[in-house]
Amino acid sequence: MSRRGLVLGGGAAALVGGTGGVVVDRLRHAEIPLYSETVAFSAPAQRRLVPAGRPDEVVPRTRVLEAGPWRSRLVEDEEEWLADCAPWVRRVADRDGVLHSALLDLRALTDGLPVAVAGWSPRWRYAWPRDVAFVASALARLGRPDEAAAQLAFLQGVQRADGWFEARYDLTSGGPPDDRHPQLDGAAWVLWAADQLGRFAPERAHELVEPLRPMLVRAARLLLVSRDATTGLPPPSSDYWELVEDTLTLGTAAAVLAGLRSGTGALRLAGEMAMADRTEAAAAVLGRHVHDVFAPRGYPRLLGGDAPDAAVTFLVAPIGDPQPDLALLTAVDRAQTAMARPAGGLAPGASWKEDGISWTPETALFAAAWAATGYPAKAQELLTWLGRHRTAAGSFPEKVLHDGRPAAVAPLAWTAASVVIARHELALR
């Protein structure tokens, strides 16, 4: 059987449009309200959340408030921003408007701000290094490298001297808003994002990446020294689940591996040849260790566990290996099936609480992974699902309830950026 045939036979049909093999009767159907329809500009550099149920307050197909003296100017500014995006954006057949929505959400959460915020609802109005990295990748792909570089410059300004990043940052103070634990994966994400910047702005790669050299060196040193001398693996750390972990997660291991791999290119662009050689060698060793300890159990979330996790997408392009082997692609496919939720999207992992809720960032991660590894139909299926579950104002929510209703914060930068990345990967092919 062919490589493609085997992967596609792994149960992808279980994801979209039904219960996906999940026993719905045993799920708790959690009820979470939709916090807002979207965030819209009320004046230059001023935004306001649009209440749930009031999409009429927004100019259709924009992120501009209908009322107010700035309406025409703000619509023109938005149209100009869209027109300045890379040519591939205009070539894409965006009949469902999914890319258009992602672009508007991305702009609404970045334009005129010191750095991208995860969302505009109060508890999300902070900068997560992971989210900022994905935003930087998306902006670079959109032909907006200076905006992408500015995202990473903010992170350079808040990085600790030892290379660590906090879980999230307040835009005003530049410090953490609470006592969440620092996360090792932050150092990995900035290395990956800097490599993305160089890759998608090749004619200006050195000019854009070299100013980030202090951050990249600190991040690389941290990842290098963090590995255990005996196992070769990084230590347990909070990852994108943001839980205190005493066991190594795939989310940390795969991110560190991606950081070392992609950071090699970024470090060379920054003129750090010796450090680049070290990260290249370390990535080769860590890649073998991650395979040896995670692959036999299907790449589970926890070292020694068995529950699949969305972090398996960190091991394949556009984050990890651009040419993954059949076993890894099969693990991605199996994880997608195991994580399927009643409305048709995905949970963060198979061990996530059984509340019936789909999460759009994780669903978009799988879309980007399939697009980047050569499975456009699987990617498009997920992007179509995301498009069908936008808010009435057109934004991507964080969550989708068991019956398909959008819920929680909207829009969400990580989802918007991942949709842009997925659509770009499809356009490249």
Q: Are strands 406-407 and 358-359 parallel, antiparallel or unpaired?
A: unpaired
Give domain status of residue 17, yes or no: no
d(CA 171, CA 156): 14
Contacts of 122 (CB under 8 A, 6+ apart): none
Give domain status of residue 10, yes or no: no
The tens place of each residue's pLDDT in the chain, 429 residues long, gives: 333 343 444 444 334 434 343 444 445 799 999 999 999 999 999 999 999 999 999 999 999 999 999 999 999 999 999 999 999 999 999 999 999 999 999 999 999 999 999 999 999 999 999 999 999 999 999 999 999 999 999 999 999 999 999 999 999 999 999 999 999 999 999 999 999 999 999 999 999 999 999 999 999 999 999 999 899 999 999 999 999 999 999 999 999 999 999 999 999 999 999 999 999 999 999 999 999 999 999 999 999 999 999 999 999 999 999 999 999 999 999 999 999 999 999 999 999 999 999 999 999 999 999 999 999 999 999 999 999 999 999 999 999 999 999 999 999 999 999 999 999 999 998
pTM of this structure: 0.94
Range 88-97 contact pairs with CB under 8 angstroms and sequence separation of 24 or more = 88/424, 88/427, 89/142, 91/427, 92/423, 92/426, 92/427, 94/423, 96/383, 96/384, 96/387, 97/61, 97/387, 97/394
Give domain status of residue 22, yes or no: no
Give domain status of residue 15, yes or no: no
Give domain status of residue 11, yes or no: no
Q: Is 57 exposed, middle or buried (0-12, 13-18, 19+ CB in 10 A)?
A: middle
- What is the per-residue pLDDT for 429? 87
d(CA 236, CA 253): 9
d(CA 333, CA 350): 13
For residue 258, what is the domain's CATH number? 1.50.10.10
Mapped onto helix, strand or coil, the DSSP state of residue 398 is coil
Give domain status of residue 164, yes or no: yes
* Phi, psi dihedrals of residue 358, rounded to the nearest 5°: -90, 145
Structural domain boundaries enclosing 249: 34-428
Give domain status of residue 231, yes or no: yes
CB 92 within 8 A of CB 101: no
d(CA 170, CA 428): 36
d(CA 176, CA 238): 15
End-to-end Cα, the chain, rounded Å: 24
Q: How many domains does the chain have?
A: 1
Range 172-179 contact pairs with CB under 8 angstroms and sequence separation of 24 or more = 177/126
Give domain status of residue 239, yes or no: yes
d(CA 302, CA 236): 10
What does the radius of gyration of the chain's CA atoms come to, in whole angstroms? Answer: 20
Quote the distance between the C-alpha of residue 41 and its chain's center: 24
- What is the per-residue pLDDT for 27? 52
